């Protein structure tokens, strides 16, 4: 019997964590249970609600018997129909006020009789209550983001101590240095000291089976611990979280809970049922931003002459976090440059919107490409250079280019940060034109989804800042992101049998022009392509914090590839007509301007998800106007291109066709114009997945034309890949060209 997993079959859920919505007649919460088959489970409910009904997905649990004395326990009976994994727990006949003091108990000990307080029930099921499991303290508890740290944790047993043969488990974040006990001077060194006369031995140190972001160190206590006995743990790590957040949780309700570093849990017998400490007895760890070290300057992408144009400046710490309000900010001067020369623009004085940001209106600009440079007034050193801005004629047939990011996660699924804060940060800090949260649909409830859509809609301001209602579906065919131009979007959860097949999802949205979807990070996730509906699935996220997915040869391909899978080139070679987007998959609630490590790209995890090594990507959308309908149309019609985060301006046509178009022509002439954020190292034309032409400009602004020496013989796809001197990249969406007269036997 695998004891390490069995304890997960006994759960106690505090229903204060359920969600309500004004027009809903039920409370709900995400329900996680391990995958099981025909295991009998008994359900008990402690509540003052008169006649509650509990539903888990399509399982309905009604009262079998009700205790008359307080606390009032309701026996909901036994079922073996629970299939496990993520589902929806819905409760009818209970108010939010009643839920605050209600508990649901799920146990495989079907003969057990439940009564008494929650602590009594915990002792009966687990062998120890959370209130008796002990207390922890940690130092330091406040760390500057990204700073190497030596931690000292102190654990104190409860009033009854721990019996002989007990175990204690400590969780080390997966993003930190791996724990080791052999080399005291090396990263990750971990040591343990116990109360005099008592022993502690490391039983195992392995990646957690239940907490995806942690390594579990399990220690064995042959003599247990006396009342108020103690364990001292010392640990040092070269890597810590790069972003500000407080970590305070220790109860592993599901795999993505943000555990406090070295949070503890105890097991008092060989069943290895690890019981977490009470919240009030658990330590917390807070990561805070560092001092101001960087300035970022943002200009719009491409605008028509006569439009209002602003320069936006954001001060950050080393990792792009907003620094403390009280600190040293440099004095700077700003200079505007185009082909005609450089003019003094002024200083931010009088234009600060917040202590860390300023916004300066630019004068009417002539046609051309512009950049702004910031100079430190005291040292005369260059502090920052903006992305390029292109001003085109007011009557130009070219579309304007807008910048955005539509793949961010918040605390509403497996990310961190408040849902509304994602949009505020995208607008105020990321200086984006559009954004979308795309939290995992399986991790939030119906009531939460209604509220999330309300929040997204409240941030939508056509012409200024556009938000899309969307989510990430994850089922049998791995991941798809889905968005709409409407205020509401039908929710398909993925990790739930009726919606676990992508065909069900795509068949529902088929031929709906207000909806668009597509996969992301195919090489990292192992994309399955068993069913493709071209009327809905019209883009692929070619780059994100998982790395690049255009081909297996890209240096930004993730360090691991989950096969079988498909690169973007392979999907296009199969005949799929997909545009390219760039995203983040950022899990810190910072859409489009998440943390980065300028010295450790591809080596250091940027978030608590330890597989995310790369900086956040961006999507450029070519549109006539900034609103939801035009944005969805741009994504659907493949009028987007992707970057690794740099706001590179890109123009790409083939035989007169623009990005995303499908045309017929007997000759192919390609025209490319690129305006970089730094010097452009190379521009590569990709045809049918192969590099067929390359130029190496070595300048900020480059343009060239190339004629394919081979006339089309079938449908071919072309796109351009840009590489800057700093190795930031951009990918245009493809153009498809076939001969006017199809050739035979090709």
* pLDDT on residue 7: 46
* pLDDT on residue 744: 59
CATH of the domain at 690: 2.60.40.10
The mean pLDDT value for 725-729 works out to 97
The mean pLDDT value for 217-246 works out to 96
The mean pLDDT value for 648-676 works out to 98
Q: How many Cβ atoms are within 10 Å of 4's Cβ, its own excluded?
A: 15
Q: Are residues 298 and 277 in the same domain?
A: no
DSSP annotation of 162: B
Contact by Cβ (8 Å): 243, 588: yes
Q: Are residues 433 and 572 in the same domain?
A: yes
Nearest to 645 by CA among 585, 703, 599: 585
Alpha-carbon gap, residue 333 to 613, rounded angstroms: 34
* pLDDT on residue 265: 96
Q: Are residues 486 and 430 in the same domain?
A: yes
Which runs of E-coded beta strand occur in 158-301?
166-173, 190-194, 201-207, 214-221, 230-237, 245-247, 264-267, 275-276, 285-288, 294-298
* pLDDT on residue 742: 73
Q: Are residues 609 and 716 in the same domain?
A: no
Alpha-carbon gap, residue 57 to 88, rounded angstroms: 5
DSSP annotation of 19: B
Q: Is the pLDDT of residue 586 over 80?
A: yes
Contact by Cβ (8 Å): 327, 291: yes
Where a domain ends, among 370, 392, 414? 392
Where a domain ends, among 260, 288, 316? 288
Could you give the C-alpha distances from 362 to 301, 344, 366, 371, 479, in angstroms and in order? 14, 12, 12, 12, 42
* pLDDT on residue 1: 22
Choose the weakest-confidence range: 38-42, 222-226, 548-552, 684-688: 38-42
Q: Are residues 342 and 235 in the same domain?
A: no
Which token pair is 312? 């936006």
Contact by Cβ (8 Å): 673, 722: no
Contact by Cβ (8 Å): 249, 411: no
Q: Tens digit of pLDDT for each residue in 413-468?
A: 999 999 999 999 999 999 999 999 999 999 999 999 999 999 999 999 999 999 99
- The band of 8, judged by pLDDT with boundaries at 50, 70 and 90, is low
φ/ψ of residue 153, rounded to 5: -110, 140
Q: Is the pLDDT of residue 96 over 80?
A: yes
Q: Tens digit of pLDDT for each residue in 158-214?
A: 999 999 999 999 999 999 999 999 999 999 999 999 999 999 999 999 998 888 878
Which runs of E-coded beta strand occur in 492-569?
515-518, 539-544, 547-548
Q: Are residues 319 and 240 in the same domain?
A: no
634 three-state secondary structure: helix
- The band of 6, judged by pLDDT with boundaries at 50, 70 and 90, is very low
This prediction has a pTM of 0.96
Helices (H), 384-445: 419-428
- The band of 43, judged by pLDDT with boundaries at 50, 70 and 90, is very high
φ/ψ of residue 649, rounded to 5: -90, 135
CATH of the domain at 578: 3.20.20.140
Q: Are residues 678 and 635 in the same domain?
A: no
- The band of 605, judged by pLDDT with boundaries at 50, 70 and 90, is confident
Contact by Cβ (8 Å): 444, 254: no
570 three-state secondary structure: helix
* pLDDT on residue 2: 31
User: Is residue 85 classed exposed, middle or buried when 0-12, 13-18 and 19+ CB atoms within 10 A define those classes?
Assistant: middle
- 36 or 180: which carries more pLDDT confidence? 180
Q: Are residues 156 and 52 in the same domain?
A: no
Q: Tens digit of pLDDT for each residue in 698-714?
A: 999 999 999 999 999 99
Q: Are residues 587 and 622 in the same domain?
A: yes
CATH of the domain at 158: 2.60.40
Alpha-carbon gap, residue 689 to 571, rounded angstroms: 10
Residue 262's H or E segment, with its range, is none
* pLDDT on residue 309: 96
Nearest to 408 by CA among 274, 252, 607: 607
Alpha-carbon gap, residue 681 to 723, rounded angstroms: 6
Which token pair is 574? 């199969």
Between strands 142-144 and 285-288, the pairing is: parallel
DSSP annotation of 429: T
Q: Tens digit of pLDDT for each residue in 544-580?
A: 999 999 999 999 999 889 999 999 999 999 999 999 9
CATH of the domain at 72: 2.60.120
Parent domain of 619? 400-645
Which token pair is 703? 């343009």
Q: Are residues 611 and 659 in the same domain?
A: no
Q: Please identify which residue in the block is written with the tokens 């200086």.
A: 431
User: Is residue 38 classed exposed, middle or buried when 0-12, 13-18 and 19+ CB atoms within 10 A define those classes?
Assistant: exposed
Q: Is the pLDDT of residue 4 over 50?
A: no
Domain total of the chain: 5
Q: Is the pLDDT of residue 5 over 50?
A: no
Q: Tens digit of pLDDT for each residue in 264-290?
A: 999 999 989 999 999 999 999 999 999
Burial state string for 688-725 with b = 16 or more CB within 10 A and e = fewer than 16: ebeeebeeebeebbbeeebebeeebeeebbbbbbbbbe
Alpha-carbon gap, residue 191 to 11, rounded angstroms: 32
Where a domain ends, among 327, 359, 392? 392
- The band of 481, judged by pLDDT with boundaries at 50, 70 and 90, is very high
Q: Please identify which residue in the block is written with the tokens 């250091």.
A: 604
Q: Is the pLDDT of residue 72 over 90?
A: yes
* pLDDT on residue 22: 95
604 three-state secondary structure: coil
What's the chain's average pLDDT?
94
The mean pLDDT value for 626-637 works out to 98
Q: Is the pLDDT of residue 583 over 50?
A: yes
Alpha-carbon gap, residue 288 to 286, rounded angstroms: 6
Q: Are residues 404 and 433 in the same domain?
A: yes
Q: Are residues 36 and 163 in the same domain?
A: no
């Amino acid at each position: 019997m695998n004891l390490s997993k069995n304890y997960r079959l006994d759960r106690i859920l505090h229903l204060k964590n359920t969600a309500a919505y004004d027009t809903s007649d039920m409370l709900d919460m995400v329900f996680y249970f391990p995958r099981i088959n025909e295991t009998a489970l008994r359900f008990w409910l402690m509540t003052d609600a008169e006649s509650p009904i509990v539903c888990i997905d399509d399982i309905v649990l009604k009262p079998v018997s009700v205790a008359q004395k307080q606390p009032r326990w309701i026996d909901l009976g036994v079922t073996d129909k629970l299939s496990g994994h993520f589902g929806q727990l819905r409760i009818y006949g209970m108010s939010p006020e009643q839920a605050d003091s209600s508990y649901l108990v799920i146990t495989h000990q079907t003969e057990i009789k439940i009564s008494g307080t929650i602590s009594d029930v915990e002792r009966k099921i687990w062998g120890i209550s959370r209130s008796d499991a002990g207390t922890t303290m940690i130092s330091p508890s406040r760390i500057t983001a990204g700073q190497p740290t030596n931690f000292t944790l102190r654990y104190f047993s409860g009033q009854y101590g721990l019996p002989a043969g007990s175990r204690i488990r400590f969780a080390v974040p997966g993003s930190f240095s791996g724990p080791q006990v052999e080399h005291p001077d090396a990263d990750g060194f971990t040591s343990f000291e116990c109360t005099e006369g008592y022993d502690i031995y490391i039983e195992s140190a392995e990646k957690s089976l239940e907490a995806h972001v942690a390594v579990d160190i399990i220690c064995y206590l042959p003599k247990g611990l006396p009342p108020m006995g103690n364990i001292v743990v010392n640990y040092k790590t070269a890597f810590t979280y790069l972003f500000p957040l407080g970590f305070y949780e220790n109860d592993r309700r599901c795999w993505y809970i943000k555990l406090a570093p070295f949070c503890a849990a105890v097991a008092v017998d060989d069943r290895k049922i690890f019981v977490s400490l009470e919240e009030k007895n658990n330590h917390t760890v807070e990561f805070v931003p560092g001092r101001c070290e960087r300035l970022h300057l943002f200009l719009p992408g491409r605008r028509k002459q006569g439009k209002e144009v602003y320069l936006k400046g954001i001060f950050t710490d080393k990792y792009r976090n907003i620094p403390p309000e009280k600190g040293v900010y440099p004095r700077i001067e700003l200079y505007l440059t185009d082909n005609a020369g450089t003019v003094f623009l002024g200083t931010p004085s009088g234009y600060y919107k917040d202590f860390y940001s300023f916004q300066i209106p630019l004068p009417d600009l002539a046609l051309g490409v512009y950049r702004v440079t910031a100079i430190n007034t005291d040292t005369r050193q260059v502090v920052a250079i903006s992305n390029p801005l292109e001003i085109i004629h007011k009557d130009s047939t070219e579309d304007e280019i807008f910048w955005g990011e539509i793949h961010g996660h918040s605390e509403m699924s497996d990310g961190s940060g408040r849902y509304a804060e994602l949009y505020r940060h995208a607008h105020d800090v990321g200086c984006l034109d559009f954004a979308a949260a795309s939290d995992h649909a399986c991790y939030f409830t119906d009531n939460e989804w209604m509220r999330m859509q309300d929040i997204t809609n409240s941030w939508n301001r056509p012409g200024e800042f556009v938000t899309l209602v969307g989510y990430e579906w994850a089922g049998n065919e791995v991941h798809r992101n889905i968005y709409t131009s409407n205020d509401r979007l039908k929710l398909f959860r993925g990790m739930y049998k009726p919606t676990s097949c992508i065909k069900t999802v795509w068949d529902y949205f088929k031929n709906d022009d207000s909806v668009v979807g597509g996969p992301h990070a195919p090489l990292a996730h192992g994309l399955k392509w068993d069913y493709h509906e071209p009327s809905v699935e019209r883009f692929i996220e070619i780059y994100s914090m998982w790395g690049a997915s255009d081909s297996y040869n890209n240096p930004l391909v993730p360090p691991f590839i989950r096969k079988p899978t498909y690169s973007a080139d392979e999907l296009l070679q199969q005949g799929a007509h997909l545009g390219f987007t760039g995203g983040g998959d950022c899990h810190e609630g910072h859409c489009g301007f998440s943390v980065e490590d300028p010295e450790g790209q591809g080596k250091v995890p940027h978030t608590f998800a330890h597989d995310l090594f790369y900086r956040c990507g961006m999507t450029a959308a070519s549109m006539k106007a900034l609103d939801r309908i035009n944005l969805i149309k741009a994504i659907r019609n493949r009028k987007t291109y992707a970057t690794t985060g740099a706001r590179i301006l890109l123009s790409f046509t083939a035989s007169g066709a623009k990005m995303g178009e499908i045309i017929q022509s007997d000759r192919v002439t390609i025209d490319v114009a690129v305006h970089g954020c730094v010097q452009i190292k190379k521009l590569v034309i990709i045809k049918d997945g192969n590099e067929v032409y390359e130029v190496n400009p070595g300048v900020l602004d480059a343009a060239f034309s190339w004629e394919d020496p081979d006339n089309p013989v079938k449908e071919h796809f072309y796109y351009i890949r840009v590489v800057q001197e700093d190795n930031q990249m951009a990918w245009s969406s493809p153009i498809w060209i076939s001969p006017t007269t199809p050739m035979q036997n090709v």
